[in-house]
Amino acid sequence: MTNPLLAEWTAPHALPPFDAISDAHFGPAFDAAEAEGRAAIAAIAEATEPPTFANTIEALERADKLLDRVAGVFYNIAGSDSNPEREALMRDLAPRMSAYASEITNNAALFARIQTLWDARDDLDLSAEQARVLMLYHRSFVRSGAALEGAARDRLTEVKSRLATLGTTFTQNLLADERSWFMPLSEDDLEGLPDFVVASARAAGEEKEAGGPIVTLSRSLITPFLQFSPRRDLRAKAFAAWIARGANGGDTDNRAICAEILALRAERAKLLGYANFADYKLETEMARTPDAVRGLLMQVWEPAKSAANEDAQILEAMLHKDCYEGPLEPWDWRYYAAIRRKAEHDLDEAELKPYLQLDRMIEASFACANRLFGLEFAPLDVPLYHPDARAWEVTRNGAPVAIFIGDYFARGSKRSGAWCSAMRSQSKLDGAVTPIVVNVCNFAKSEPALLSYDDARTLFHEFGHALHQMLSNVTYGLISGTSVARDFVELPSQLYEHWLEVPEVLEEFATHADTGAPMPRDLLDRLLGAATYDMGFSTVEYVASALVDLAFHEAADAPADPMQKQAEVLEAIGMPRAIPMRHATPHFAHVFAGDGYSAGYYSYMWSEVMDADAFDAFGEAGGPFDPEIAAKLEEFILSAGGSEEADVLYTKFRGRMPRVEALLKGRGLLTA
Ligand SMILES: [Zn+2]
């Protein structure tokens, strides 16, 4: 029997044959792909011809072709539709893939060839893209420890392998906590909840076979519950479970894991000659230094904190008016903020929600991409990995651009959050390879599927990442699509959110689920007028998390007790008591599930400085669909991948570096 993961993919668009792939295929496919990669690497390293860009760097680009293909399918499915077999394989693969990567960077003969090319780089007659790719290979080998020797090298390999395992365990613990908790709601408990929350609670109860409506820890259910439930006792109970994720004691407790991760990261940085992990991590980012990061965060923190403290007083007065004593608590904030929003802006989610149909919002995201970049989307009837996932063929002037897969609904087997990944990345080293791009969300399932405004923004956000992958136009996979500095990667996604705020987009696509009527102008005005409402809260919860992340990684010696360190940081910045961190340490997956956003959670705000400033460029020109600015956006940002440094790309697009004022204005924090 042939393994469909290893056979030629002959389906249209060379899509993976999902209907032929079973869990039993993954293990052997990884074995075969790893062996093939290992042989390819050995052939490069042991070649007798002197190194050239083609026989070394381009050969490296090709070495893991099969592994990329197998991993592209597996990790996408394992993240969005896990089961015990997939989880077991993930645990098995984490140290194995880390060891494989270390084996490559520890290959002295291979590194010697790269070093030779690097030393001779000015004489190799390389294109700009090739020079960049060579620099990135050399830098990544050095940063992985290729220049280390003996015990230091061995220890670094051990550290990296252990970190990979800990990251996987962290994620699985979190998922276990999120899955195991739910709170049954009696019919009385549903009183005061809008229909859509009741519908989601019932749907969640059915999925869990709980025999009635429930609240789960899925963000798209618990957030509206905290917002709308007049039952303070139930809010307190749900909130307590929500913030306890990863800190419930027992087998799934993440606190000791966090401490070990931080210690190992500090050790890794020291082995490589850096003072601390933040220095190491930020070297390749647009921000470059911890001081630059803190500088930006603190510029935003003070005005955000003042706004939040003013809001807290108003909300606390509302609490007291409801005959409760004592201070405003974190489980009160969303509830009273929603009432206040209704009073001040006459806007509530329940009135808005019937106008935000998932399918219409998908259409809206496609329509904007059509006007801006000429992309067209046609539904594709192909077997996928789960019945909820859907696919579209993306073309421009009839030419294939990409396959786009949208997997929107929450389910128990999906990890929380929303993300974009490429199951296959764009490249053209060996002929045009069009990408397969996946957007995964966790929207509550209902019939018809309705979104909150926040959900709709998430949809646009992930679609912005998808455009970065789909419009990528580079030769080498290494720098394809979203393979850019971490603090630059959120620019396309956060920028795309702005098109949801364009009135003509909502006018066309926000139509009522029952009547088909467009959103009334007056509701639209109130929605957009409330755009900066409660920004103190959302800025504070975010910046606090980013500052804790930075503090964790900035010290030469990692904190022995991260929870204690977290408390100290929050104390020092004067964290408002009724606002929790957006992600507290035991469930801060950005920082602990992997290395991606460690010492990097600030990136969203760094990118927001740019997205606010970049969207202003459209306003300064002919409006949100200005063709000239759209063309520049595609040329210098969306198609360019990591072909140049982020600040160079941005300056080419905008004519100058970004300024923080547009962000403060956009968040309504400039008044102070
Ligand atoms: Zn993002």
Measured in Å, residue 76 CA sits from the centre of ligand 1 at 16
At 83 the pLDDT is: 93
* Residue 594 CB coordination number (10 Å): 18
pLDDT tens-digit series, residues 49-60:
999 999 999 999
pLDDT (average), residues 420-430: 96
* Alpha carbon of residue 361 to chain centroid: 20
At 672 the pLDDT is: 45
Measured in Å, residue 325 CA sits from the centre of ligand 1 at 40
Tokens of 89: 């394989």
pLDDT tens-digit series, residues 570-600:
999 999 999 999 999 999 999 999 888 999 9
Give yes or no for a contact between 224 and 234, defined as CB atoms under 8 angstroms apart: no
Half-sphere exposure of 14 (CA within 13 A, CB side): 14
Please give the residue that has the higher pLDDT: either 153 or 460: 460
Global confidence as pTM: 0.84
HEC assignment per residue over 296-341: HHHHHHHHHHHHHHHHHHHHHHHHHHCCCCCCCCHHHHHHHHHHHH
pLDDT tens-digit series, residues 382-408:
999 999 999 999 999 999 999 999 999
Measured in Å, residue 74 CA sits from the centre of ligand 1 at 21
pLDDT tens-digit series, residues 296-346:
899 999 999 999 999 999 999 999 999 999 999 999 999 999 999 888 888
pLDDT (average), residues 466-475: 98
pLDDT (average), residues 106-123: 96
Measured in Å, residue 603 CA sits from the centre of ligand 1 at 10
Half-sphere exposure of 123 (CA within 13 A, CB side): 5
Measured in Å, residue 653 CA sits from the centre of ligand 1 at 20
Measured in Å, residue 235 CA sits from the centre of ligand 1 at 29
DSSP state of 12: G
Handedness of CA 574, 579, 580, 583 (dihedral sign): negative
Measured in Å, residue 465 CA sits from the centre of ligand 1 at 7
Give yes or no for a contact between 182 and 238, defined as CB atoms under 8 angstroms apart: no
Radius of gyration of the chain from Cα atoms?
A: 25
pLDDT tens-digit series, residues 240-267:
999 999 999 999 999 999 999 999 999 9
Q: CA-to-CA distance for 252 and 257, rounded, in angstroms?
A: 10
Measured in Å, residue 461 CA sits from the centre of ligand 1 at 6
Half-sphere exposure of 669 (CA within 13 A, CB side): 25
* Residue 430 CB coordination number (10 Å): 11
Report residue 415's pLDDT band, with 50, 70 and 90 as the boundaries: confident
Question: Ion ligand 1 — residues with CB under 5 Å?
Answer: 490, 493
Q: What are phi and psi of 405, to 5 degrees?
A: -115, 130
| Closest of 74, 246, 98 to residue 165, by C-alpha | 98
| Closest of 59, 58, 68 to residue 130, by C-alpha | 58
Measured in Å, residue 618 CA sits from the centre of ligand 1 at 21
Measured in Å, residue 489 CA sits from the centre of ligand 1 at 7
- Helix 290-321 to helix 535-554 angle (10° resolution) is 140
Measured in Å, residue 490 CA sits from the centre of ligand 1 at 5
Q: CA-to-CA distance for 170 and 374, rounded, in angstroms?
A: 42
Give yes or no for a contact between 73 and 422, defined as CB atoms under 8 angstroms apart: no
Measured in Å, residue 462 CA sits from the centre of ligand 1 at 6
pLDDT tens-digit series, residues 613-644:
999 999 999 999 999 999 999 999 999 999 99
| Closest of 522, 608, 428, 472 to residue 61, by C-alpha | 428
Measured in Å, residue 587 CA sits from the centre of ligand 1 at 18
pLDDT (average), residues 83-95: 91
Measured in Å, residue 233 CA sits from the centre of ligand 1 at 34
Measured in Å, residue 460 CA sits from the centre of ligand 1 at 10
What's the distance, Cα to Cα, between the start and end of the chain in Å? 69
| Closest of 429, 433, 425 to residue 61, by C-alpha | 429
- Enumerate residues 6+ apart whose C-beta is below 8 A from 225: 193, 197, 201, 215, 234, 235, 238
| Closest of 57, 7, 66 to residue 34, by C-alpha | 66
- pLDDT above 80 (res 447): yes
Backbone torsion region of residue 310, taken as left when φ is above 0, otherwise alpha when ψ lies between -120 and 50, otherwise beta = alpha
Active site residues: 462
- pLDDT above 70 (res 1): no
Give yes or no for a contact between 487 and 290, defined as CB atoms under 8 angstroms apart: no
At 417 the pLDDT is: 87
Report residue 565's pLDDT band, with 50, 70 and 90 as the boundaries: very high
Give yes or no for a contact between 253 and 246, defined as CB atoms under 8 angstroms apart: yes
Report residue 235's pLDDT band, with 50, 70 and 90 as the boundaries: very high
- pLDDT above 50 (res 503): yes
Measured in Å, residue 82 CA sits from the centre of ligand 1 at 22
At 290 the pLDDT is: 94
Backbone torsion region of residue 417, taken as left when φ is above 0, otherwise alpha when ψ lies between -120 and 50, otherwise beta = left
Tokens of 351: 């009135």
Give yes or no for a contact between 606 and 485, defined as CB atoms under 8 angstroms apart: no
Measured in Å, residue 185 CA sits from the centre of ligand 1 at 33
- pLDDT above 70 (res 671): no
Average pLDDT of the residues of the chain: 94
HEC assignment per residue over 83-97: CHHHHHHHHHHHHHH
Which string of b and e fits 166-198 if b means at least 16 CB within 10 Å? bbbbbbbbbbbbbeebbbebeeebbeebeebbb
At 196 the pLDDT is: 87
Give yes or no for a contact between 426 and 480, defined as CB atoms under 8 angstroms apart: yes
At 95 the pLDDT is: 83
Report residue 103's pLDDT band, with 50, 70 and 90 as the boundaries: very high
Q: What angle do CA 300, 650, 493 make, to 5 degrees?
A: 65
- pLDDT above 90 (res 442): yes
- pLDDT above 80 (res 536): yes
Alpha helices in 402-502 (DSSP H): 453-470, 486-500
Give yes or no for a contact between 443 and 409, defined as CB atoms under 8 angstroms apart: yes
At 596 the pLDDT is: 85
Measured in Å, residue 493 CA sits from the centre of ligand 1 at 6
